[in-house]
Structure 1
Amino acid sequence: MKEKAIVLDEQAIRRALTRIAHEIIERNKGIDNCILIGIKTRGIYLANRLAEKIQQIEGRHVPVGEVDITLYRDDLTKKTIDQEPMIKGTSIPIDVTDQKVILIDDVLYTGRTVRAAMDAIMDIGRPSQIQLAVLVDRGHRELPIRADFVGKNIPTSSSEVIVVELTEVDADDQVSIHEND
């Protein structure tokens, strides 16, 4: 894969997350009964960053959890199940029943990851609502799923790949578009 362009640098990511934090607070009239749940892997780092920003704005802590969707993926076949997929674990600090769950992910593409995350959460409890926050929405939906909070819309072709790098797991913070060879 060849990098075509950097579409978000460290400052742009920080600004997008600050805006999303404000939008979450505004839409929910505060943070009462809210929990941020990051979708493994990069979604959890974004959820933690959003929780810090919300803490700075509201002066109160919002619970943060993480969900592993491995066993909920619709592309697992008998063959891949026999190979034992790597399960990274789900950790949610409070009961999600009657809570406003804000799912956090890095890129919204087909919608299948979000559907799997919603299935995983519904197996744990029954939230009053589920909202979706993503750093990047690149289009090409296969399921009727839409983000409530979007850092940046980046229209892409199906031959392009969005690469999100975060300092927690990568060299630095940036979002770039790569072309498949």
Structure 2
Amino acid sequence: MSDSRPDSRGPDGRAVLEAPDIHRALTRIAHEILERTKGAGDVVLLGIPTRGATLATRLGERIEQFEGVKTPVGSIDITMYRDDLRLKPARPLGRTEVPPDGIDGKIVVLVDDVLYSGRTVRAALDALNDLGRPTAVQLAILVDRGHRELPIRADYVGKNLPTAKSEKVKVYLQETDGRDAVLLMKGEAR
């Protein structure tokens, strides 16, 4: 399926998803989660900060809207589990917020904005091991841009976006950036 909008590439890049597209993608992902998990009863959404946590909150709101049941939402900081700690400058630790009932025996859906090499997800899986033992772990991603370096695949994808390694995908969300958009930019790979 091709994007019928004109190429609006400028200094900010070319928009591949706008606010209505993101809204539709998250609505579809919420429905897919409900279908695959047979309702939201045992589901816990854990977002990978920063934008993954925001997306997890949005998914939780949609699931509650559809099912009438509040789905536990939290966040999982992966900073200390990254395999590139020694290669990049020091970064601040984020917050891990696990819902009060924990994750043991639950279906945990990890949520992030962009899936690229798979290393962030691997770090999240390692962090998850320190938090408990879920029944299953699934992955929801807004944008899958390919270029996997690890055998990791998303269960729920908002948009598959084949990219060159030289391109960058930038996700903007209203809560953190003042607007909803996904831009494809030339430059250093993310």
| Shared fold (TM-score, shorter chain, > 0.5) | yes
Task: Give SS of 1:124's match.
Answer: coil
Structure 2 unaligned spans of 5+: 1-9
Q: 2:92 aligns with which of 83, 86, 89?
A: 86
User: Which residue in the other structure is 1:66 paired with?
Assistant: 75
CA distance in 2 between counterparts of 1:95 and 1:77 reads 31
CA distance in 2 between counterparts of 1:180 and 1:100 reads 37
Q: Deviations over 1:133-157 (max 9, x none)?
A: 0000000000000000000000000
User: Which residue in the other structure is 2:19 paired with?
Assistant: 10
Per the TM alignment, residue 3 of structure 1 is displaced from its structure 2 partner at its CA by 3.6
Q: How many corresponding residue pairs?
A: 178
Q: 1:124 aligns with which of 131, 136, 145?
A: 131
CA distance in 1 between counterparts of 2:179 and 2:53 reads 16
TM-score (norm 1): 0.94
Per the TM alignment, residue 2 of structure 1 is displaced from its structure 2 partner at its CA by 4.3
CA distance in 1 between counterparts of 2:64 and 2:11 reads 38
Aligned positions of 1:159-178 closer than 5 A: 159-178=166-185
User: Which residue in the other structure is 2:146 paired with?
Assistant: 139
Per the TM alignment, residue 4 of structure 1 is displaced from its structure 2 partner at its CA by 3.6
Question: Are positions 1:112 and 2:119 aligned together?
Answer: yes
> Alpha carbon RMSD of aligned pairs, Å?
1.6
TM-score (norm 2): 0.90
Comparing both chains, which one has the higher relative contact order based on Cα–Cα distances under 8 Å and sequence gaps of 6 or more?
1
Question: Are positions 1:43 and 2:52 aligned together?
Answer: yes
User: Which residue in the other structure is 1:33 paired with?
Assistant: 42
CA distance in 2 between counterparts of 1:122 and 1:100 reads 14
Structure 1 unaligned spans of 5+: none
